[in-house]
């Protein structure tokens, strides 16, 4: 029972009463998987208890940790749904069922990829916890991948990189994204992995020396200036994301400045800017590399200030400045919002989530054509994974859109009522055509009129599903209406 103790020790914020649920789930799963073995030869139960441990580390609530322990009982033991419902109630059954459904994918290539994504979107909108359990399950499976057959190994590794990691990233779970990618990288792309290992060989010493030099001097300056430091640490860039970046920089490692980054975690936002000032008064910043993601967060919610400084001895170091709260959010993203909350807080969170993650709704609603998964995938790639632009409302709210979006897309993103009545637009305070292509950081102001309405032409000049869907339904409704009217007249 030391395993149980380990799990419970990780759940320090869960009330004792709720811990009973985890204890019950533990014995139930232990019994259900009794005698089963994994490919590695270890007891099957180890897998579910490791999954629960990962969830506890994410800071998830008692139900989620319990469901983590139970996540394979429907699929891999003779436990029935009724039995699970009787023992643990409707909520846990829902979570376990959700995870089980996400797991049964028998497609190949693009179809499989697309279908798994679509299932994920549906699951996210139903209960995000299902997806978080699935992430934990996958992370542990990746850690024990060496025991599987090579073809299976590669398939799981690639799926983790192509489906799981981008999703984790979009949900702001940066730490998980990095771990999924790095566990999968050697199995998915062995040659490239080796190449990265070779490139990094012997460089670590130099990086560490640079870091130590900067961190000692900085810590002294912060103490002198009475900044409350919560923590100064550093992170080494994940190998998979380093490889992706190298591809964009002609594989020249000297062009990459954030292989190691110094992280300064402070109490308040004010302190963050104070630290930035102190950093720039000691070292010269590299032009074009000061990024204020506190004032303008990334679309996945990431906040932090980044700057790269010349160390003076020929090196350069990236410094990331953030508060404790931002630090937590950068690691756990949406899970950080989810954990240890009362029902009321959860409800409020769910509303926040829904507006923050509008794109999920949008993708789920997108008409999925089983005959044409390739098209759906192209669409996803465009709309979801890359090439996003950030534009602003006149009040400074950030709207995140696919590249090439028009003011029509922008308007529908704000509200369908605004979309439906676009008559003009100001881009950067100047009147512009409503079909203009928006550019990063444009300030967009929509002018509406009651009698302005969508036309067929709007479809050709909109990029997002949300806009297209609304325009189409408007056009359908109105052509029907006009037919009815002319019918009435004759
Ligand atoms: Mn599992």
Distances (CA, A) of 468 to 345, 400, 455: 34, 17, 11
Residue 295 tokens, joined: 């004032």
Mean pLDDT along residues 386-398: 71
Largest CA distance in the chain: 87
Per the CB < 8 A criterion, the answer to whether 363 and 121 are in contact is yes
Looking at residue 358, what is its pLDDT?
A: 56
Per the CB < 8 A criterion, the answer to whether 161 and 187 are in contact is no
Between the CA of 349 and the centroid of ligand 1 the distance, in Å, is 28
- Average pLDDT score, the chain: 83
Between the CA of 103 and the centroid of ligand 1 the distance, in Å, is 8
Between the CA of 64 and the centroid of ligand 1 the distance, in Å, is 14
CB atoms within 10 A of CB 419: 25
What is d(CA 385, CA 379) in angstroms, rounded to the nearest whole number? 10
Between the CA of 54 and the centroid of ligand 1 the distance, in Å, is 12
Backbone angles phi, psi at 292, to 5 degrees: -105, 85
- Whole-model pTM: value is 0.68
Distances (CA, A) of 220 to 76, 88, 230, 276: 56, 54, 14, 15
Between the CA of 413 and the centroid of ligand 1 the distance, in Å, is 37
169-214 pLDDT, tens per residue? Answer: 877 788 899 999 999 999 999 999 999 999 888 887 888 888 888 9
Burial annotation 173-196 (CB, 10 A radius, 16+ → b, else e): bbbbbbbbbbbbbbbbbeebbeeb
Distances (CA, A) of 177 to 183, 378, 414: 10, 22, 29
Looking at residue 178, what is its pLDDT?
A: 92
Per the CB < 8 A criterion, the answer to whether 28 and 73 are in contact is yes
Going by pLDDT thresholds of 50, 70 and 90, the confidence category of residue 167 is confident
Mean pLDDT along residues 211-229: 91
What does 127-171 look like in DSSP terms, one character per residue?
-HHHHHHHHHHHHHHHHTGGGS-HHHHHHHHHHIIIIIHHHHHHT
Looking at residue 118, what is its pLDDT?
A: 62
Per the CB < 8 A criterion, the answer to whether 108 and 311 are in contact is no
Is residue 329 predicted with pLDDT exceeding 50?
A: yes
Between the CA of 72 and the centroid of ligand 1 the distance, in Å, is 5
Between the CA of 212 and the centroid of ligand 1 the distance, in Å, is 41
Q: Which residues contact 210 (CB under 8 A, 6 or more apart)?
A: 260, 311, 313, 315, 316, 317
Between the CA of 21 and the centroid of ligand 1 the distance, in Å, is 20
Between the CA of 137 and the centroid of ligand 1 the distance, in Å, is 5
Residue 289, Cα to own-chain centre: how many angstroms? 24
Looking at residue 301, what is its pLDDT?
A: 76
Is residue 374 predicted with pLDDT exceeding 60?
A: no
> What is the percentage of the chain residues whose pLDDT exceeds 70?
80
Is residue 400 predicted with pLDDT exceeding 60?
A: yes
What is d(CA 354, CA 356) in angstroms, rounded to the nearest whole number? 5
Question: End-to-end alpha-carbon separation of the chain, Å?
Answer: 82
Between the CA of 424 and the centroid of ligand 1 the distance, in Å, is 53
Backbone angles phi, psi at 174, to 5 degrees: -60, -40
Per the CB < 8 A criterion, the answer to whether 198 and 179 are in contact is no
421-464 pLDDT, tens per residue? Answer: 999 999 988 899 999 999 877 889 999 999 999 999 999 999 88
Looking at residue 105, what is its pLDDT?
A: 47
Using alpha carbons only, what angle is made at residue 131 by residues 125 and 135, rounded to the nearest 5 degrees? 160
Per the CB < 8 A criterion, the answer to whether 125 and 53 are in contact is no
Looking at residue 370, what is its pLDDT?
A: 43
Per the CB < 8 A criterion, the answer to whether 33 and 77 are in contact is yes
Phi-psi category of residue 104: left, alpha or beta, with phi > 0 → left and psi -120 to 50 → alpha: beta
Between the CA of 102 and the centroid of ligand 1 the distance, in Å, is 11
Q: List active site positions.
A: 75-76
Per the CB < 8 A criterion, the answer to whether 65 and 11 are in contact is yes
């Amino acid at each position: 029972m030391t395993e149980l103790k380990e799990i419970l020790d990780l759940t320090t914020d869960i009330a004792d009463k709720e811990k009973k649920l985890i204890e019950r789930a533990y014995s139930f799963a232990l019994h259900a998987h009794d005698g089963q073995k994994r490919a590695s030869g270890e007891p099957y139960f180890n897998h579910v208890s490791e999954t629960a441990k990962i969830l506890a580390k994410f800071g998830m609530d008692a139900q989620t940790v319990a469901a983590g322990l139970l996540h394979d009982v429907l699929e891999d033991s003779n436990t029935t749904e009724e039995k699970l419902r009787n023992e643990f109630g409707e909520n846990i059954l829902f979570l376990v069922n959700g995870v089980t459904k996400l797991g049964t994918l028998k497609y190949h290539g693009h179809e499989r990829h697309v279908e798994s994504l679509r299932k994920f979107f549906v699951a996210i909108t139903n209960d995000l916890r299902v997806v978080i359990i699935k992430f934990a399950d996958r992370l542990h499976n990746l850690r024990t991948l060496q025991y599987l057959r090579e073809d299976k190994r590669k398939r799981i590794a690639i799926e983790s990189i192509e489906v799981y990691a981008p999703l984790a990233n979009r949900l702001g779970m940066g730490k998980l994204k990095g771990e999924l990618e790095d566990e999968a990288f050697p199995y998915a792309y062995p040659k490239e992995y080796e190449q990265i290992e070779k490139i990094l060989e012997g460089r670590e010493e130099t990086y560490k020396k640079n870091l130590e030099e900067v961190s000692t001097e900085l810590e002294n300056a912060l103490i002198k200036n009475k900044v409350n430091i919560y923590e100064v640490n550093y992170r080494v860039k994940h190998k998979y994301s380093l490889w992706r970046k190298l591809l964009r920089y002609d594989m020249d490692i000297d062009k990459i400045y954030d292989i190691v980054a110094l992280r300064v975690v402070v109490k308040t936002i004010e302190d963050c800017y104070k630290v930035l000032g102190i950093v720039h008064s000691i070292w010269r910043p590299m032009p074009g590399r000061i990024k204020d993601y506190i004032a303008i967060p990334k679309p996945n919610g990431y906040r932090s200030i980044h700057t790269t400084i010349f160390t003076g001895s020929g090196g350069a170091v990236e410094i990331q400045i953030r508060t404790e709260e931002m630090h937590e959010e950068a690691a756990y993203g949406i899970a950080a919002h989810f954990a240890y909350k009362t029902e009321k807080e959860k409800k409020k969170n769910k509303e926040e989530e829904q507006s923050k993650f509008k794109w999920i709704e949008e993708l789920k609603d997108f008409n999925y054509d089983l005959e044409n998964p390739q098209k759906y995938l192209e669409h996803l790639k465009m709309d979801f994974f890359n090439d996003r632009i950030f534009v602003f409302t006149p009040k400074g709210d950030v709207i995140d859109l696919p590249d090439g979006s028009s003011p029509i897309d922008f308007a529908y993103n704000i509200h369908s009522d605004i979309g439906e009545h676009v008559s003009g637009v100001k881009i950067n305070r100047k009147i512009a055509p409503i079909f203009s292509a928006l550019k990063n950081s444009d300030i967009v102001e929509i002018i509406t009129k009651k009698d302005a309405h969508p036309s067929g032409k709007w479809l050709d000049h909109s990029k997002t599903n949300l806009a297209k869907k609304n325009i189409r339904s408007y056009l359908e409704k109105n052509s029907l209406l006009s037919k009815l009217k002319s019918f009435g007249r004759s």
